[in-house]
Structure 1
Amino acid sequence: MVIQELIEHQKTIQKVIDSLTPAIEQACEMMTTTLSKGNKVLIAGNGGSASDAQHIAAELTGRFVKERKSLPGIALTVDTSAITAIANDYGYDRVFARQVEGFARPGDLFIGISTSGNSQGILNAFDTAREYGCQTLGLSGRDGGKMNGLCDLNIVVPSDVTARIQEMHILIGHIMCKAVDDLF
């Protein structure tokens, strides 16, 4: 079982290398350009993708590998008071869009993470982010879902297995954070 999981992970990584390297480079450029201009990165996802959003934001405000100044990365998944109030008053599918409305400014980057590419709350947040002049970056899987039509760039991990998709999302997040470290 263990060997089979590692082999499946390795196969997915090879597919990512073969098909997504230019898109990952573009995502690195989006993040570094956003931050170098003094703008912020807003990130959201549900479940495991919420954890990935928090992880990436923490790498920006804390550090990834090297010592550098703190950078504005905000996970929209951490404020339970805001999440529950918005869900109660507007519905769960508005939780991230409402926060984007409050935090986003033109030139910011919104990153939405959804393994299916069809999470309604993430889709709504993309719509709002675009209305507010943000660049939009998606991390998805399977066929990319509805996110394909809502993102400036949607990185679609070539897998139907949620665990493999999530593993690649955090790897891509780390690669973007490495690009940030290299710039700052």
Structure 2
Amino acid sequence: MSLDSLYPFLYSGDSGTATDVLEEVCRSTETKVRETAELRALVLEREGRRLLECADRMAERFAAGGRLLAFGNGGSSTDAQDLASLFLGSGRGALCLTNDIASVTALSNDVGFDVVFSRQVAAFGRPRDIAVGLSTSGNSANLLRAFDEAARRGLLTVGLAGYDGGRMAEIDTLDYLFTVPSLSVHRIQEAQTTLYHALWELTMDRAR
């Protein structure tokens, strides 16, 4: 996506005075904040009950000594790292599968990028564990394969996707899929951040 599509008032050729630009920036920011707030409220309305149910099942897994395995690509990989750090900071076992650069690069080079998560799930995953994958499109092949492997091994599988869920909405290896219905990658990732923070808080509340 080009910058002129995000900020047309800066690239129109007649941007006006500094005051005009500042006012337009403020309007644009207010619009984006409003869109994000409305999207978060919509997701909460649609997914609130299932979030509670998922948190209950995650708490049960942690109580049994389970760990969380989080994964994603690009910006979603940083969200996966954040999610893993939330549970680690709360005294729960958690791994972010993108953090082991040696494994990621070795598997990508020697086998293929599609297996970078599924091979790690096979190596580290136990039946009492939890696999959480994040994607804006829901179409990432390496997430789909990881969910297949996690389900085969008895892990609780949780996916976060955007748009209409993509291919993640079509597979039967996900116990829970939370979809953010937006066409904007930015709004999707903002709402997904709220989703997994809520899931963390709810899980820890039930784990006390």
Give the deviation of 1:136 after TM superposition.
0.7
Q: What is the CA deviation profile of residues 109-144 of structure 1, one whole-angstrom value per residue up to 9, with x for unaligned ones?
A: 111111111100100100111111111111111111
Matched, 1:98 2:125: no
Q: Which residue of 2 aligns with 1:55?
A: 82
Distance in 2 between residues matched to 1:57 and 1:91, nearest whole Å: 25
Q: Which secondary structure does the structure 1 equivalent of 2:200 belong to?
A: helix
Q: In terms of Rg, which structure is larger? A: 2
Aligned partners of 2:138 and 2:167 also within 8 Å: yes
Q: Which runs of 4+ in 1 moved over 4 A?
A: none
Distance in 2 between residues matched to 1:13 and 1:152, nearest whole Å: 22
Aligned partners of 1:34 and 1:41 also within 8 Å: no
Distance in 2 between residues matched to 1:153 and 1:36, nearest whole Å: 19
Q: Which secondary structure does the structure 1 equivalent of 2:117 belong to?
A: helix
Q: Which residue of 2 aligns with 1:160?
A: 183
Matches within 5 A, 1:78-117: 78-117=99-138
Distance in 1 between residues matched to 2:162 and 2:129, nearest whole Å: 24
Q: Percent identity?
A: 36
The residue type equivalent to 1:144 in the other structure is G
Distance in 2 between residues matched to 1:161 and 1:30, nearest whole Å: 31
Matched, 1:22 2:45: no
**Larger RCO (alpha carbons 8 Å, 6+ apart):** 1
Distance in 1 between residues matched to 2:64 and 2:165, nearest whole Å: 29
Matched, 1:36 2:63: yes
Of residues 73, 80, 91, the one that matches 1:46 is: 73
Of residues 197, 200, 203, the one that matches 1:174 is: 197
Give the deviation of 1:18 after TM superposition.
2.0
Q: What TM-score does the superposition give when structure 1 sets the normalisation length?
A: 0.92
Aligned length: 178
Distance in 2 between residues matched to 1:30 and 1:42, nearest whole Å: 15
Q: Which residue of 1 aligns with 2:38?
A: 11
In structure 2, runs of 5+ residues without a counterpart are 1-27
Give the deviation of 1:44 after TM superposition.
0.5
Q: What is the CA deviation profile of residues 20-56 of structure 1, one whole-angstrom value per residue up to 9, with x for unaligned ones?
A: 1112212212321211111111110011110111001
In structure 1, runs of 5+ residues without a counterpart are 64-69
Judged with a 3 Å threshold, the aligned counterparts in structure 2 of structure 1 residues 48 and 30 are, in CA distance, closer, same or farther, namely farther
Q: Which residue of 1 aligns with 2:148?
A: 127
Q: What TM-score does the superposition give when structure 2 sets the normalisation length?
A: 0.82
CA RMSD of superposed structures (Å):
1.2
